[in-house]
Amino acid sequence: MLQTTFIRENKELTIAGLKKKFVRDAEEAVELILKIDRLRRETQQELDQTLAKSNALAREIGGLMKQGKKAEAEAAKAETATLKETTRQLDEQLKGLETELYDELVKLPNLPHASVPEGRTADENETILEKGEKPVLPEGAQPHWELIKKLDIIDFELGNKISGAGFPVYKGKGARIQRAMIAFFLNEAANAGYTEIQPPILVNADSGFGTGQLPDKEGQMYYAAADDLYLIPTAEVPITNLYRDVIVQENDLPIKNVGHTPCFRREAGSWGAHVRGLNRLHQFDKVEIVQVCKPEDSYQALEDMAQHVQGLLEKLELPFRILRLCGGDMGFTSALTYDFEVWSAAQERWLECSSVSNFESYQANRLKLRYKIDGKTQLLHTLNGSALALPRILASILENNQQADGSIKIPKVLVPYCGFETIG
């Protein structure tokens, strides 16, 4: 959530940032917030003055009574009663303005970093790195949804019977390579200094609000109405919320956590080849890295996290590219996002497998996540990234590593984890 003080002191910058994210009526939204804030501050000042006058009169009454000035004392009491009623009205008015201001602030997305390119759609994202040689597939190579049928390692029909479309059943070597990737990603994160967390996969509304999923993405999450809980769309939500309403000790920074969870997303996109097989699911596994750090350190932390994800893809020997997202394609809470995409050789298209984002103080303001410096509390910065999401990584491994005999070669780095070198 943006801070009112920042908006007040940087009105034009705020409007420009909102326009870069294609917020409708950005000027009107900012003017409304500033108007409510001005009324709030005026009401607060009037309330403070009324309380001060009332307190001063209360002190005078005792002195007047001692001096025998009963009539003056009674007049002061009557004025005090009037001031108390005025105080009550002003207090109610102030609370109403604070609620109104809060309701308007939560509608605004985070402002984009200065390096975020202009643009409305994914076509306008900026490619900042492309690495790895795209494989030349043998004759008869197939997309992964055909391979998994032939190899009998993932069953979509069984998942559809048990739950519905978008809930695959992994079996045999399909399940083992899933487990191998999870272990590999977690171990790599531990080697990079991340502490492993195993969080709950259902969260309350306060947690969803803290990281910005609510109210922005309410319709995209599965909701357990009887208990008022949401299934998580990513481990970012519970892990970041570990620090909600916390004042972190400066010597504990930076905080680096990693967690593996299943992730649940109601939206599954439109029909077509781009959502077939593992390309888009309702349930999938993901390893997430999360950092909490000082504001002055957050952009170096972002680069470090991006380097970590890049290292994973290099070790998996997958061709990939890194995009800097444009303003119109960024998430609601992000100030700067790098998307990682792997090459799907049989589909001949790029598949997103990770987003690494800096939220600056946006989430921290919602979470009340702070630290003390020079005796004053200051908001921290939060960051997260997929390291990695499994489905599209597996799709790329299957497609890119097809051999002439129809088997699939497993990346060397995963062999010690899964215990086999080929599938098929």
Is 8 marked as binding a ligand?
no
For the chain, the three-class secondary structure string (H helix, E strand, C coil) is CCCHHHHHHCHHHHHHHHHHCCCCCHHHHHHHHHHHHHHHHHHHHHHHHHHHHHHHHHHHHHHHHHCCCHHHHHHHHHHHHHHHHHHHHHHHHHHHHHHHHHHHHCCCCCCCCCCCCCCCCHHHCEEEEEECCCCCCCCCCCCHHHHHHHHCCEEHHHHHHHCCCCCCEECCHHHHHHHHHHHHHHHHHHHCCCEECCCCCEECHHHHHHCCCCCCCHHHCCEECCCCEEECCCCHHHHHHHHCCCEECHHHCCEEEEEEEEEECCCCCCCCHHHCCCCCCCEEEEEEEEEEECHHHHHHHHHHHHHHHHHHHHHCCCCEEEEECCHHHCCCCCCEEEEEEEEECCCCEEEEEEEEEECCCHHHHHHCCEEEECCEEEECEEEEEEEEEHHHHHHHHHHHCECCCCCEECCHHHHHHHCCCEEC
The pair of three-digit structure tokens given for residue 380, joined into one six-digit string:
């921290």
281-297 b/e (C-beta count within 10 Å ≥ 16 → b): bbbbbbbbbbbbbbeee
Are 390 and 183 within 8 A, CB to CB?
no
Is 321 marked as binding a ligand?
no
Is 265 marked as binding a ligand?
yes
Is 366 marked as binding a ligand?
no
The residue behind tokens 């492309």 is 130
CA distance 27 to 104: 13
The pair of three-digit structure tokens given for residue 257, joined into one six-digit string:
């956590």
The residue behind tokens 């097989």 is 277
Closest CA relative to residue 115, chosen from 128, 97, 131: 128
Is 288 marked as binding a ligand?
yes
Is 38 marked as binding a ligand?
no
Is 384 marked as binding a ligand?
yes
Is 267 marked as binding a ligand?
yes
Is 126 marked as binding a ligand?
no
Is 355 marked as binding a ligand?
yes
Q: Binding site for L-serine: which residues?
A: 234, 265, 288, 384
Q: Binding site for ATP: which residues?
A: 265-267, 352-355
Q: Binding site: which residues?
A: 234, 265-267, 288, 352-355, 384
